[in-house]
Amino acid sequence: MIDKPIVDQLDQVFILLERWIVSFLPAGWQAVASVVLNVVAIIAVFPALFAIAVLLERKGLGRMQNRLGPNRVGPFGLFQPIADGLKSLTKEDIVPISADPVVHFLAPVFLVVVVFMGYAVLPMGRNMTLVKMDAGLLFYFAMGASTELSVFMAGWSSRNKYSLLGAMRAVAQMISYEVPLLMSSVAVVMITGSLSLEKIVAAQNQYSYGLPHWYIFTPWGFAGFALFAVAATAETNRSPFDLPEGESELVAGYFTEYSGFKFAEFFLGEYVGMLSISGLGATLFLGGWSAPLAILGWVPSWIWFFGKVMLSICVFIWLRGTLPRLRQDQLMNFAWKFVLPLTLLNLMVAAMWRFLGEGWERWVICSAVLLIAYVAMGRIGMRHGHIGTRKYRYAE
C-alpha cells in the first residue's frame, strides 16, 4: 500500500497548488484571487478536453467508418485541434446582410457563458467544487435551460430558412427532453434528500464488501441512468437525435450562417455542454469522484471524475458511429410516449425503494416493476407504431 500522506497530497494537489499561488498575495486579495484562479482553471481545462474530445471523435469515427481520420498535422494527426483552432481564428467573420447584427453577435457569446456556468456546481474531486450550493442541481438545470434561448437567437437572427428550421427543431427537442432529464434526476434527489451535488456524491461514496453504493447499481438508479443518458443525448443535439443540425437536410441547422470564430464558439459550446452533462451524469449516478472499488481509493479523486467524463464522451462517439438519425415525429413520440412515462414510473419506484426497507424484497419488486413496464410499453408502442412510409398531414 502506498504511503498515506502522499496519497492525500496527490488527491488534493490542485487545492494545495491554489493555496501556494494565493499565499504570495497580500491577505486582502487572497479570497478574490482564489476564486479567479478556480474560474481560470475551469476555463482552461475544459476547452483542452474539448480539443481532445474532437480529435477522439474524428479518429474514432474514422475507424468505425473504415477510414483513417485526420493524420497529417503532427504525429498521427495529434495536432489537428491546434490547426483547426488557428483556422477558425483567422477566417473572415461574415454576417449576412439581412441578419439582426446584435442578436446574431450575442447568441454564441450567450451560449458559451451559460454552458461554462454549469461547471460552477460540479464536484470534480474531493473538495473541488467552485461554489458549494444548497440548490446546486437546480442551478445546473437553470443554466442548462438557458441554452435553448441562445439556439433560438442564433436561428432567428440569421434570417435563413435552414437556420430557423434548425432552431425550431432544436428548441422543440430540447424542451421535450428537458422534462425526462429533470425527472430522472429527481429520483436521485428523492433518495439522497438533498439538491446539493456534494451531498449526492457523499451519499454514494460508501462501500460494502469493497463495492461502491453508486446509484446505478440499484434498479431505479439503473433505469434512471438509462433515461438520463437518452435525454442528455437529445439535449446536447447528438446523434441519433441530431435533427437540428442534420447536415443532409439543413446544412448545419441554427448555425448555418456563422463563420470563423463565432462558428468555433458554437462548436465549443456544444462539446463543453457534452462534457458538462457527462459530468452531471457521473455525479448523479456513477458516484462522481468516488472510486469504483474500495481498494482503488488511493487513486486521486479527480482522476476518477475526469475518467468517467471521458468514458461517457467515448460512448457518445460510439453511438454517433452506430445509430441512424431519428425522424422528427419518431423523436417526439419517443420522448412523450415512452421516455416520459417511464421516468414518472421510475419516480414511483424510487419512492417504493425508499419505503420497502433494507431487505432483498425491494430488489425483486422494484426490478420486476421496471422490467414489466419496459417490456409492456415497448410491445404496445411497437404494435401501434407505423413502421414504413410516413403519412404527411399537411404536405400532401
Partner 1 sequence: MSIVFYIVAALAVGGALAAVLLKNTVHCALALTIAFAGIALLFLQLDAQFAGFAQILVYIGAVAILVVFAILLTRGSETPKDGVYGRKWPLGLVIAAAVFSDLAWAVLQSARVLPHEAISAPTVTVLQIGNALIGRYVLPLEIIALLLTAALIGAVIVAMHEKEAGK
Does the protein bind partner 1 through residue 263 (CB under 8 A)? no
User: Closest approach of Cβ 379 to partner 1, in Å?
Assistant: 24
Packed helices 13-22 and 27-64: angle between N→C axes, nearest 10 degrees:
140
The interface region with partner 1, picked from 130-138, 220-228, 231-239, 315-323 by CB under 8 A, is 130-138
Does the protein bind partner 1 through residue 119 (CB under 8 A)? no
Give the three-state DSSP class for 388: coil
The vertex-291 CA angle with 285 and 292, nearest 5°, equals: 70
Among positions 174-213, residues that touch partner 1 (CB under 8 A) are 175, 178, 193-195
The values of phi and psi at residue 256, to 5°, are -60, -40
HSE at residue 12, side-chain half, CA atoms within 13 A, is: 10
User: Closest approach of Cβ 295 to partner 1, in Å?
Assistant: 35
User: Closest approach of Cβ 36 to partner 1, in Å?
Assistant: 18
Residue 9 belongs to what H/E stretch?
Answer: helix 4-11
Does the protein bind partner 1 through residue 131 (CB under 8 A)? no
User: For partner 1, which is the closer residue by CB, 24 or 394?
Assistant: 394
Chosen residue from 14, 156, 263, 316 binding partner 1 by CB under 8 A = 156
Burial profile 95-127: b = 16 or more Cβ within 10 angstroms, e = fewer: bbeebbeeebbbbbebbbebbbbbbbbbbbbbe
Does the protein bind partner 1 through residue 120 (CB under 8 A)? no
Q: Which of 303, 310, 318 is nearest to 46 (CA)?
A: 310
The interface region with partner 1, picked from 16-24, 45-53, 170-178, 311-319 by CB under 8 A, is 170-178
Q: DSSP labels for 64-105?
A: HTTS----SSSGGGTTHHHHHHHHHHHS-----TTS-HHHHH
Among positions 325-344, residues that touch partner 1 (CB under 8 A) are none
Among positions 134-153, residues that touch partner 1 (CB under 8 A) are 134-135, 138-139, 141-146, 148-149, 152-153
User: Closest approach of Cβ 146 to partner 1, in Å?
Assistant: 5
Does the protein bind partner 1 through residue 162 (CB under 8 A)? no
Does the protein bind partner 1 through residue 266 (CB under 8 A)? no
Does the protein bind partner 1 through residue 10 (CB under 8 A)? no
What residue type is assigned to position 82 of the chain?
Answer: I
Count of residues that interact with partner 1, criterion CB under 8 A: 27
User: For partner 1, which is the closer residue by CB, 69 or 253?
Assistant: 253
User: Closest approach of Cβ 10 to partner 1, in Å?
Assistant: 34
Contact (Cβ atoms closer than 8 angstroms) between residue 333 and residue 396: no
User: Closest approach of Cβ 128 to partner 1, in Å?
Assistant: 21
Does the protein bind partner 1 through residue 32 (CB under 8 A)? no
User: For partner 1, which is the closer residue by CB, 61 or 190?
Assistant: 190
Sign of CA dihedral 267, 272, 275, 278: negative
User: For partner 1, which is the closer residue by CB, 49 or 331?
Assistant: 331
Does the protein bind partner 1 through residue 164 (CB under 8 A)? yes
Contact (Cβ atoms closer than 8 angstroms) between residue 282 and residue 128: no
User: Closest approach of Cβ 97 to partner 1, in Å?
Assistant: 17
Contact (Cβ atoms closer than 8 angstroms) between residue 275 and residue 191: no
Q: Cell digits for 386?
A: 407505423
The vertex-165 CA angle with 162 and 167, nearest 5°, equals: 105
Contact (Cβ atoms closer than 8 angstroms) between residue 260 and residue 92: yes
Q: Cell digits for 195?
A: 439538491
Does the protein bind partner 1 through residue 154 (CB under 8 A)? no
Residue 243, C-beta contacts closer than 8 angstroms, at least 6 positions apart: 169, 173, 249, 325, 326, 327, 328, 331
User: For partner 1, which is the closer residue by CB, 182 or 370?
Assistant: 182
User: For partner 1, which is the closer residue by CB, 125 or 136?
Assistant: 136
User: Closest approach of Cβ 336 to partner 1, in Å?
Assistant: 11
Chosen residue from 33, 41, 73, 168 binding partner 1 by CB under 8 A = 168
Does the protein bind partner 1 through residue 234 (CB under 8 A)? no
Q: Cell 417511464 sits at which residue?
A: 342
Judged by the rule CB under 8 A, the positions of this chain that interact with partner 1 are 103, 133-135, 138-139, 141-146, 148-149, 152-153, 156, 164, 168, 171, 175, 178, 193-195, 393-394
